[in-house]
Structures are given as structure tokens and as C-alpha cells.
């Protein structure tokens, strides 16, 4: 890649020998690590200047470390006041587990179905998104998987009177079963918004109730903000804050967008948890975590988010994008659901809006067709049928128009090939309310 387009969702990909340079528009997490835009000059300058001056490991105190910790803590509730700087989301979540085990003295972890928390061994154990892919993988006896709070295709859906309580009660029941078998809960861990699980937005009030059940059992709550933090949701700086002011996790982990592509991450927790960790007698040290260059870059990212109102942009453009996609749902029978907050949006493709049959092959076809037109999008969820939008936060309404227009054309061509008419979408919706539906069967879709 070449740094030809600073602070933009566009980036250049150079072919070697240098005979051409292709320009792509990124809509996905592959480049959402560049949260404030590819090669933002302010971030590049901050890193380069500090690297020219001094870089040490964190045994040597440096003003940048203290200043950045203060800046970061100021974005969080007061009780979250102790920062541990590390180098990746996986490191952050692994450390969060160690903190929970030491603080509680317990071992058992509750995670959500389809969750992904990182690539190291401790995190593969609590990431059903990964270990369910292996036919011979055995679930760790100390790990317990609760249903994903998915109100579209989960156990309790949108028509349920109180899905937040219903899903939280599943966790409560799980805690009781663990205790009956002699186990004790150390922590409940969840992505504040499930990303790899299919852009799942938990119903409001779910985290509060889960936290109550878990804390009453002696455990703590870990909020994984690695993919969704730093203003992406628009209305708030952190996605866990969508649940309401009355919810504060015991540990928050962050990564990816924190350094705009630079490898850094952080764990923030309470004084009580940190003191218990320190009392173990085992010193915690991380060679590169919190080094002066990383902290300089982190501060520059925070500066750009404020200076360019990227959180506000995520809110405005996210709403604009969601409205465009809702219109596609009205037009295209393949579109089953649109959900998201800010610039974290999922478009779920289904073959049947009543049975919610995943349109996996169709989702892949959309991705391939867009890539041919230099637009990068990807699919996720347990069925790989959710088109996920997590672009850099400098994404514009013009970018949204371009992407949705291309998706519209691809879906139209797919539906024509499948023998579907756009008016079927409305007729299915109308008839579904009467519980008398005639759905045109989809012929088998072969890869093009």
C-alpha cells in the first residue's frame, strides 16, 4: 500500500513493479484499524517525531505514558481508573482474564455464542466463533456459552415482550448450574456489540441484568471494546454506554482503532481489581506496552477524533447509511434485516424472511462483485450471511451512496437470476403479519 490518501477511507494498493496503482474504498474492519483514516498526517507525524526523539520500554517512566492514561481515562466512567497498556486486542483480553481470576479467586468464565475475543489459547477457549469451527475441539470445562442476545434470529426475537430479561435469565440459570456442579464464576465477557457474531446489538438493559447476576455470584463483567470503541457508535464514545448510564463494566478492553493501525491496546479496570492483581506478588511487565511512541500515537488519535468530530461523523453518516440500507430492504427480498449503531452496521441476507434461511452464497457473491469494483466489504456471523460495515470513521455520505448503489445493482442482478421480483419483498412482509405467506422458492445458486 502507498500513503497516497491521508485521513480517508480510500487507500492505494501498489503493484510491483510499479506499473499501476489501484484505489480501493474500504467499508470493513480490515481497515477500520485506521479509525481516523489511512495514514492520517497528524498520527504519522506524532509517531515519527517521538521515534526520532526517544523510544524505551515501559520500565523507564515517560510523560507520554501518564498523559495518555489520563486522556484515555477521561473518556470512561470514574471508577475505571487503572490502565494497563499492551500491544494487541488478544493481549488485552488475555490480561483481562488474568485480572478476573486473581480478583475473584474463581475460575469459570461465561461467554456468548458466536463470540470472538482473540487468537491466543486462553481466548480461543472463550471464542465459540473459533472453536465451533473445529470438529475435534473440546470445550474447556471452565467455559460456559450463553445464547447470543440476537433479537433477529436468536432464541428471543423482536416480538418478545422483554428480550433483555429473557437473555439475561439464561445467564442467571447458567450461573446456578455452574454452582450446582461446584464451579464458581470469575467473569462474564462480551463484546459490547458482537462483531464476528453478525453485528448483533444487545437489547438495552441486558448488560445491567447480566452484571447483577454475575456479581451476585462473585464474578465481574468484562466489556470487550476492541472492535467497537472510540466513537464508532456515534452517540457514545464506548459501545457499552449504549446500555445506559447505570451500567459500568469492571474491566474494559480496547485495541484496533486505538492506534489507527499502530499495534497497541489497553485494559482499563477499577482500583480494587488492580490492587488484587498486584497483591499476587507476580510483577506485571510488558516490554512494549505503553512505550513513548505508542502513547504519542494514541494521543494523536484522540486529538483527531475531537478535532475532526469523527464521533459526530459516525453518528450522522451512520444514520444516513442505515436509511439507505433500509430502502434496500423495502426493495430487495434478499435483505432480511438492517441493524447497527453509528458506523457499525449489519445487512443480513436471507432466502426466506419467515424461515430466516441464510443467503450465504448470495452474500459472498455481493462481496466478490464489489471487490471487482474496488470496494471492500465482508460477511460474518455464524452463517457468513451478514454484510458488515465498519469503515474508517471519516467515511462520508458520498461513500455511502456509492457503496449502496453498487449493492443495489448486484442484488437486482442476483434476484433476476433467481427469478425474484422486488415487489415480493413487500408482499412477503404484508402476508407475514397475517401468518399466511406464499414464498417463491429459491433455485439453487451456483457460484459465478
pLDDT tens digits for 190-203?
Answer: 999 999 999 999 99
- The rounded mean pLDDT for the chain is 88
Query: What is the pLDDT averaged over residues 19-47?
Result: 79
CA distance 306 to 300: 10
pLDDT band (50, 70, 90) for residue 29? low
Per the CB < 8 A criterion, the answer to whether 294 and 255 are in contact is: no
Which has more pLDDT, 41 or 28? 41
174: nearest Cα among 144, 139, 202: 144
CB under 8 Å to 245, separation ≥6 — which residues? none
pLDDT at 21 over 90: no
pLDDT at 281: 79
pLDDT band (50, 70, 90) for residue 57? confident
pLDDT band (50, 70, 90) for residue 227? very high
Query: What is the pLDDT averaged over residues 14-27?
Result: 66
pLDDT band (50, 70, 90) for residue 23? confident
pLDDT at 11: 58
pLDDT at 2: 38
pLDDT at 272: 97
Which has more pLDDT, 227 or 130? 227
pLDDT at 28: 82
119: nearest Cα among 255, 238, 293: 255
CA distance 132 to 323: 34
CB under 8 Å to 113, separation ≥6 — which residues? 128, 145, 146, 147, 148, 197
pLDDT at 284: 86
Query: What is the pLDDT averaged over residues 116-134?
Result: 84
Per the CB < 8 A criterion, the answer to whether 253 and 92 are in contact is: yes
CA distance 219 to 3: 46
pLDDT at 412: 96
Query: What is the pLDDT averaged over residues 76-84?
Result: 97
Residue 12 pairs with which residues in a beta bridge? 2, 23
Per the CB < 8 A criterion, the answer to whether 164 and 206 are in contact is: yes
pLDDT at 420 over 90: no
Query: What is the pLDDT averaged over residues 274-285?
Result: 89
Distances (CA, A) of 227 to 3, 42, 233, 347: 23, 22, 11, 18
Query: What is the pLDDT averaged over residues 152-170?
Result: 95
CA distance 411 to 331: 10
pLDDT at 349 over 80: yes
Q: What is the DSSP letter of 444?
A: P
Half-sphere exposure of 269 (CA within 13 A, CB side): 25
Q: What is the pTM of this model?
A: 0.89
Give burial (CB, 10 Å; 0-12/13-18/19+) of 185. buried
Which has more pLDDT, 448 or 413? 413
CB under 8 Å to 343, separation ≥6 — which residues? 232, 234, 314, 317, 318, 321, 389, 390, 391, 393, 395
pLDDT at 8 over 80: no
Query: What is the pLDDT averaged over residues 171-184?
Result: 97
Q: Which of 30-44, 264-278, 366-380, 398-412 has the lowest mean pLDDT?
A: 30-44
pLDDT at 20: 59
CA distance 67 to 64: 5
**pLDDT tens-place string over residues 288-341:** 999 999 999 999 999 999 999 999 999 999 999 999 999 999 999 999 999 999
CA distance 321 to 400: 6
pLDDT at 24: 85
Distances (CA, A) of 85 to 231, 265, 276: 20, 6, 18
Coil, strand, or helix at residue 436?
Answer: coil
Amino acid at each position: 500500500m502507498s500513503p497516497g490518501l491521508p485521513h480517508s477511507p480510500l487507500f492505494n494498493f501498489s503493484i510491483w513493479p510499479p506499473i499501476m496503482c489501484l484505489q480501493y474504498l474500504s467499508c470493513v474492519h480490515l481497515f477500520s484499524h485506521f479509525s481516523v483514516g489511512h495514514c492520517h498526517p497528524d498520527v504519522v507525524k506524532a509517531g515519527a517525531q517521538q521515534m526520532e526523539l526517544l523510544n524505551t520500554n515501559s520500565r523507564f517512566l515517560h510523560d507520554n505514558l501518564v498523559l495518555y492514561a489520563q486522556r484515555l481515562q477521561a473518556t470512561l466512567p470514574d471508577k475505571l481508573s487503572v490502565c494497563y497498556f499492551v500491544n494487541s486486542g488478544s493481549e488485552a483480553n488475555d490480561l483481562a482474564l488474568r485480572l478476573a481470576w486473581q480478583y475473584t479467586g474463581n475460575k469459570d468464565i461465561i461467554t456468548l455464542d458466536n463470540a470472538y475475543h482473540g487468537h491466543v489459547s486462553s481466548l480461543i477457549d472463550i471464542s465459540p466463533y473459533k472453536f465451533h469451527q473445529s470438529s475435534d475441539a473440546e470445550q474447556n470445562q471452565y467455559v460456559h456459552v450463553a445464547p447470543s442476545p440476537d433479537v433477529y434470529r436468536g432464541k428471543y426475537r423482536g416480538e418478545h415482550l422483554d428480550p433483555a430479561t429473557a437473555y439475561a435469565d439464561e445467564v442467571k440459570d447458567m450461573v446456578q448450574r455452574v454452582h450446582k456442579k461446584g464451579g464458581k464464576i470469575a467473569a462474564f465477557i462480551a463484546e459490547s456489540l458482537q462483531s464476528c457474531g453478525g453485528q448483533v446489538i444487545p437489547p438495552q438493559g441486558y448488560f445491567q441484568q447480566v452484571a447483577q447476576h454475575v456479581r451476585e455470584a462473585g464474578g465481574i463483567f468484562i466489556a470487550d471494546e476492541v472492535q467497537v470503541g472510540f466513537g464508532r457508535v456515534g452517540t457514545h464514545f464506548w459501545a457499552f454506554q449504549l446500555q445506559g448510564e447505570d451500567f459500568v463494566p469492571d474491566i474494559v478492553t480496547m485495541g484496533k482503532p486505538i492506534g489507527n493501525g499502530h499495534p497497541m491496546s489497553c485494559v482499563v479496570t477499577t482500583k480494587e481489581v488492580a490492587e488484587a492483581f498486584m497483591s499476587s506478588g507476580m510483577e506485571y511487565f510488558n516490554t512494549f506496552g505503553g512505550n513513548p511512541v505508542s502513547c504519542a500515537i494514541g494521543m494523536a488519535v484522540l486529538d483527531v477524533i475531537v478535532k475532526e468530530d469523527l464521533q459526530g461523523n459516525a453518528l450522522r453518516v451512520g444514520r444516513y447509511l442505515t436509511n439507505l440500507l433500509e430502502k434496500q430492504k423495502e426493495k430487495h427480498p434478499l435483505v432480511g434485516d438492517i441493524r447497527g449503531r453509528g458506523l457499525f452496521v449489519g445487512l443480513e441476507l436471507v432466502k426466506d424472511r419467515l424461515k430466516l434461511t441464510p443467503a450465504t452464497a448470495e452474500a459472498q457473491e455481493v462481496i466478490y462483485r464489489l471487490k471487482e469494483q474496488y470496494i471492500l466489504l465482508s460477511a460474518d456471523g455464524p452463517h457468513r450471511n451478514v454484510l458488515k460495515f465498519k469503515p474508517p470513521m471519516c467515511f462520508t455520505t458520498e461513500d455511502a451512496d456509492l457503496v449502496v448503489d453498487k449493492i443495489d445493482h448486484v442484488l437486482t442482478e442476483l434476484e433476476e437470476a433467481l427469478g425474484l421480483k422486488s415487489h415480493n419483498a413487500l408482499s412477503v412482509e404484508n402476508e407475514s403479519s397475517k401468518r399466511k405467506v406464499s414464498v417463491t422458492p429459491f433455485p439453487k445458486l451456483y457460484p459465478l
